[in-house]
Structure 1
């Protein structure tokens, strides 16, 4: 499923010490005990998601596909879309899916307009995902798309083409689904957005697209097949990153070698940043903790960021993400001959070259004294991707326990939302909006630079 190689975290002068395991084993065990207690009490539901049988979702998706739908627009943002996109791109290609998938995430009118130009609304399903039902980006775009759908097919038919994935009982989207008779699926009340990729949040659109959601969950289940030993292995990885953070390596670069892995890193960034970036610990003490996740792509960022990683501040822990096999490959032909400096590449496959570039970059970083580790997926198939997703959710949760913070809330994102609502006329948040700096005017003389 995957192999984790952490030798590069120890083999550099300022890396982890040889007695790391002795120093951290008790803390790891305490973190495991605490997290397992929260899971068994029902407080945290993400850990049990792989145990749920997806047969009903699969059967539903097969039935909907049989109706002839060609496209689905997934309307959601953050944890409501990143996991779905990550799996689609990893297991893809998405353009060959049984139902083509488009994402209405960011509030960019150009992007949403382009989606409307690409799809035939008569053959398109709207899959709206928001647990709270009040996400400004999601509900704004839903209303635009629903209006366009009603104008195209009429209200009654439009209501048959909307699928809501939201809280089981509360929220404005749940109320809308009841009122308009929209088909709906539940996000478990004890599962937060960034931990919801193995719930209906992603399983519904993935199954609709024809992806192997049963295999995805199977791979996730295997993550803890080793029992206590598997738990300790994941806690040890969490502790490595926390320990390196304590040593001044406050940035975690995840560098993926393979385009299909790209969106997995986007998913990881939200999971890690939103879970671990906290002002206070669980006792209320101010700690302002967090390890900043940075996305990098190999081999592209060898020509972009690696110069900084090699010779800039030694404050980054770098995790390579690779796949042992690709779904297809291409070989450089033996003739006509390449110029002499490159002739040794002839007869080599692109995957071979990409792997060599990853190994070369990792070796160079090690020589420069930079701590590195490597996740090597067996493939980008369902089981490997499911295992990766589950592993990092557990690692992140365990890191939260080690840091003594709540990895399952996000108080820091609420103020900006309230100010935005106030600026747009929300009566309860107008006072907050009045405290903001006015935006620059169109006239250069009225710009912020001129005013300062």
Structure 2
């Protein structure tokens, strides 16, 4: 269960702006041009298809190696990190993402080839990091790719990677053409590896579906109010901070940064540069680094606090008083969950009292249903903000330019 509270005032927000955001999203969903709206329901049959493969996979492999980057890895990592504590027997997942030779070498050195299933993920099918690492894996393990049940591919229909998979008789899953990479975690991109690893992806999808239904029924209008507030005040508050109070949110924060940054940093219809800058922090750690800037630095940020009401861990702070260290005894006998939540509430109060715009997201507990709801929440929030900024939320021309320049370096 998720609880959302906007602590900022929306009285100066034009109601038309909120309606404009809702109607824009409804049009996107009904037009079929933007496909992620369909995934919570459309991907449910895929779960059954993948579950049917698990008995054979379970007999041979105890590790899944995901070869992918950006939208082909960040969402998977986010969901795995959130659900791993409650699913301790799920298969190990390792990630081969960045073209950093140190990281690539370290991960490859830790892989037990006979017990590892390799899943190559690229929406375009031509991601240079992914294909380069795949080549390195083939050579490092003398991997026999042709008709191998040890390699799977997830890509767009007709991509060069899809063609390679078909020619070599590899099992292949399709990313819908109308689903962008950073919005694709509830497609085969996330469902296949997470299901094969042993996570309950059907419940994740049902959680997303339930939230989406409430959104269309206008029962989650706080989301539209937040998007309208962000865009209306984009010149005053160009930075949006997610201050999440649990280490399990670390990968979620990275996923959110890609989703928000790559979607919203664009030129609008008038050619003007617009965008909202995402910042992901972890509490209480970043109380000791970034909080000072929020409280007494420029008033150019909004802050979303996120915390878990009920932790799976009931770890207690001992009733132990140490000489000279008595100042911290006020928390003795309380749980660490009580402590971190109290730190979140105290910090949030201090930020509000410093005239910073704040909202709060509470997870009753981390479970599959809530994870699905939170994934679709941020996707919808991104889409609504993009519509109000009057941009194409789903392209990334700035990224494509860099790719073209890179290719030129190696062809000169």
- Which of 406, 418, 432 is the aligned partner of 2:404? 418
Is 2:279 the partner of 1:294? yes
What is the CA RMSD across the aligned residues, in angstroms? Answer: 1.8
Deviations 1:333-359 (A, max 9, x none): 113557321111110110111011111
Partners of 1:334 and 1:391 lie apart in 2 by: 41
Aligned length, in residue pairs: 408
1:130 paired residue number: 122
2:193 paired residue number: 205
- Please give the secondary structure, in 2, of the residue aligned with 1:229: coil
Is 2:33 the partner of 1:43? yes
Partners of 1:409 and 1:210 lie apart in 2 by: 33
Does the Cα contact within 8 Å between 1:57 and 1:203 map onto a contact in 2?
no
Partners of 1:210 and 1:397 lie apart in 2 by: 31
1:439 paired residue number: none
Deviation at 1:323, TM superposition (A): 1.3
Query: What TM-score comes out, normalization by structure 2 length?
Result: 0.95
- Which of 359, 381, 391 is the aligned partner of 1:373? 359
Query: What TM-score comes out, normalization by structure 1 length?
Result: 0.86
- Which of 73, 81, 90 is the aligned partner of 2:82? 90
Does the Cα contact within 8 Å between 2:47 and 2:195 map onto a contact in 1?
no
2:156 paired residue number: 167
Deviations 1:198-237 (A, max 9, x none): 1010011101110010110011011133343136342222
- Which of 238, 255, 258 is the aligned partner of 2:246? 258
2:24 paired residue number: 34
1:213-228 matches, cutoff 5 A: 213-226=201-214, 227-228=216-217
Is 2:176 the partner of 1:188? yes
1:347 paired residue number: 333
Is 2:311 the partner of 1:326? yes
1:441 paired residue number: none
Where structure 2 has 5 or more consecutive residues not aligned to the other structure, the ranges are: none
Partners of 1:351 and 1:26 lie apart in 2 by: 41
Partners of 1:220 and 1:76 lie apart in 2 by: 24
Deviations 1:186-209 (A, max 9, x none): 000110001111101001110111
- Which of 129, 132, 141 is the aligned partner of 2:133? 141
Deviation at 1:366, TM superposition (A): 1.4
- Which of 10, 14, 20 is the aligned partner of 1:24? 14
Is 2:267 the partner of 1:279? yes
1:6 paired residue number: 6
Q: Which of structures 1 and 2 has the bigger CA Rg?
A: 1
Partners of 1:277 and 1:336 lie apart in 2 by: 52
1:45-84 matches, cutoff 5 A: 45-52=35-42, 53=44, 54-84=46-76
Partners of 1:95 and 1:42 lie apart in 2 by: 35
Are the structure 2 counterparts of residues 93 and 423 from structure 1 closer, same or farther at C-alpha, using a change threshold of 3 Å?
A: farther
Partners of 2:6 and 2:353 lie apart in 1 by: 16
Is 2:383 the partner of 1:401? no
Deviation at 1:241, TM superposition (A): 1.7
Deviation at 1:242, TM superposition (A): 1.4
Deviations 1:385-417 (A, max 9, x none): 110000110111111111111101111111111
